[in-house]
Amino acid sequence: MSAKHAIKFIEENEAEYVDIRFTDLLGTWQHFHMPVSHFSEDHFEDGLPFDGSSIRGFQTINESDMLLIPDAESMFMDPYSEAATAVVICQVEDPLTRQPYSRDPRYVADKCEQYLKSTGIGDTAFFGPEAEFFVFDSMTFETQPHSMGFKLDVEEAWWNSGNAENSGYTIKQKGGYYPAQPTDKLSDLRSRMCTRMAEVGIDVEMHHHEVAVGQCEIDMKFDTLKVMADKLMKYKYIVKNEAYEAGMVATFMPKPLFGDNGSGMHVHQSIWKNGETMMYDEKGYAGLSDLSRWYIGGLLKHAPALLAFCAPTTNSYRRLVPGYEAPINLMYSQRNRSACVRIPMVSKSPKAKRVEFRAPDPMANPYLAFSALLMAGIDGIQNRIEPPQPLDKDLYELPPLERVGIATTPGSLRETLHALANDHEFLLKGDVFTKDLIETYIEYKLVNECDAVDLRPHPYEFYLYADY
């Protein structure tokens, strides 16, 4: 879609406003509205000014002026604005040099796709994330110096079985996978989410209840890296807004509930060249080509650093623990959901051959996470990195002697940020990621998340220590 076609799209849909959106370093949409009378074709070239110092991970106050450049191809109608509103996603430029901004996540995705082509390994990378989320009837929390805690509730939860006002059919702890209505009380809400997703160009394949109470999954058809990242941003926006309209609240926190499964975002990946998959070889283990195996080698070698972008919160490491189907073992295996990298075996078609990296969660900034995964895979291919031998066993139940030598995912956000600080040369190839972005990201996360959480008393500490 050209700038001219974008203006025509606005007119044909009788939009009253244009919503200008961009993604901050941590993966959250930022926006402002413009009346259509003040939005013109020139803005696609000249850009729109904003204060970069007010955006997390962007500019200092003495260099705050920045430009947003609308991407005409990204335009869609907002399903939730009261007035008809056309949304356009932007990338960021420096107003003086007119160069793309190194910390713009969408620009990183652009560069990553171009770098893949420059290597000759392939010309297209497809990504298929499976983003899980929770929906609650209520979610309250308090973080005062003298009072801290949270409270979650949802009608279908097992703890409501003794509530006289409950309608029955509650879900047992870890018992939420695939029940039909009326036990699955969120089915109609998910269907409404899927309808909205279709309206904004997302091809939904299925939806279902997940293992934990209030936990859901909606699966999208795979797409190219940047386009899929755009779709995941739309996905999150729709999930949160549709829940809000229903009087509920949705969260992509990986582990809001103690004692039940957390939300992951398994990411399916494949590389193609000239319309043919580079992932398949009928003679290889699980039908994998050498290229696929080396790609996996890159993912597993760099996994501790990758998780800084793929499991990017302190809460992420409440999920990545033994006992809750979390993929903590840095191994690969066919069909095996206990391995960090799984090779799906649901189709015999070479076109379906792909690798699934299971450690990420939906708090990830998709532009940075998908780009980091592809860069790790490319590094594996370029250096012919061999992964550990595949292990077709339940890795959760291995006896201690067989577990010796099996590496696991880091135990905290701080640990994975240190891993990124020590292992990021593979991300700098092709100037895809820059030292400036990586250093800013690490510093922000350490100070504003790791240190902030570590400094505060935890409610459970009172249970442990208050009466000593």
Nearest to 125 by CA among 262, 295, 2: 295
Unique residue bearing structure tokens 């606005």: 10
Distances, alpha carbon 451 to alpha carbons 60, 149, 429, in Å? 21, 18, 31
Distances, alpha carbon 43 to alpha carbons 88, 222, 257, 429, in Å? 11, 31, 45, 32
Give the residue numbers annotated as catalytic, written as ranges: 51, 130, 132, 210, 217, 266, 337, 356, 358
> What's the CA dihedral at 415, 417, 422, 424 to 10 degrees?
140
Q: Is the dihedral of CA 54, 58, 63, 67 positive or negative?
A: negative
User: Using an 8 Å Cβ cutoff, are 216 and 207 in contact?
Assistant: yes
Structure tokens at 354: 């792909």
Nearest to 295 by CA among 408, 357, 379: 379
